[in-house]
Structures are given as structure tokens and as C-alpha cells.
Amino acid sequence: MQDDAPQVIQSTVDAPWLPPGGVADVVLGGPVLRPTGLVRLLLTDGDHVFCTRRDGSGKLDLPTARVDAGDHDGAVALAELVRQVLGGPVPLRYVGAVRNTVTVPTPEYEWPTPVAAFTVWTTDAPPVVPGEWLAGGAGSVLAERHWYPLFRRLMASAH
């Protein structure tokens, strides 16, 4: 998907999790968006998604790593996440990203402005860490996650 033109598949204007006026776009394909705030691994088995516990909240979510300020495209963070979750380097495919656009940041908004990307990557390699495989179909608890439209599109293109 990396060579495909990016496509906004969902847009949330005045997203409640962003400062006032913030927009969250789910962008399928295209080049890796920058600057990257988080990198995520979308590992699937049929319509099931591999999840681990999020730092802090304890909610199940995709394996995720925070990106340091100097790692603009998240390559360093992604390599470390892949090492931890998959045991070593594996071929990855860029699925897309959630792109936050915040023109008027607030003190509690910790991501780069005016744009921050939260990229999603996939592979066929199996995880080597404990986690849970959650159903991703209709009524899934994962449907509230910002990256979920990318998963649904990935599943649709696999059929």
C-alpha cells in the first residue's frame, strides 16, 4: 500500500479527544506521514486482531511504541517495537495512519502541531509476546479505536 496515493477514509472534525477545532483523519496508504507520534503493529489472524495492554489505562490495544522527537518517521521506534513483539526484523507493510491536525494546541496536548501522525503497520509474522486475539468484526470492542477503519479496510481488501 505504500506506493498508493493516500486516501482519507474517515474524518472527525472537532474530534473530542483533540483540542477545540482539531481534526482527526484516518489516512489509508500513501507515503509514511510525518512527524510520527506513535507507531502501531496491526497483527491479524482472519478477522482477529492481536492486542496487548496499553500503558496506563490497561485497555487492550495494538502493540504501540511512542516515537522520540528526532525520529520523524518513527523508523527507530518501529524497529524496536518489531524486535520486542515479533522477535526480530520482519518485512512490514505500511497500512496508513491517523493524522491529527491541531492548529491551536492546549498545554495538555502532547503531540506535534499542527500535524501529528500515528502510523499503523502490518506483517504476516506471528507475535512472540503474550497478548489476546480479539474479534474485529461487527460489534467489536475495538471499533472505538481511532485506527479501526484501517483494519476494516485491510480486511475488505483481503477478501
Residue pLDDT, tens place only, 79-131:
999 999 999 999 999 999 999 999 999 999 999 999 999 999 999 999 999 99
* CATH number given to 7-158: 3.90.79.10
pLDDT at 136 over 70: yes
Q: Mean pLDDT over residues 45-66, rounded?
A: 91
pTM of the full predicted structure?
0.93
Q: Tell me, what's the pLDDT at 30?
A: 93
- Asked if 93 contacts 121 with a C-beta cutoff of 8 angstroms, the reply is yes
pLDDT of residue 2: 42
Buried residues in 54-73 as b, exposed as e (16+ CB within 10 A): eeeeeebbbbbbebeeebeb
Around Cβ 2, how many Cβ atoms within 10 Å?
A: 12
Judge whether 98 and 26 are in contact, CB under 8 Å.
yes
Provide the mean pLDDT of the chain.
93
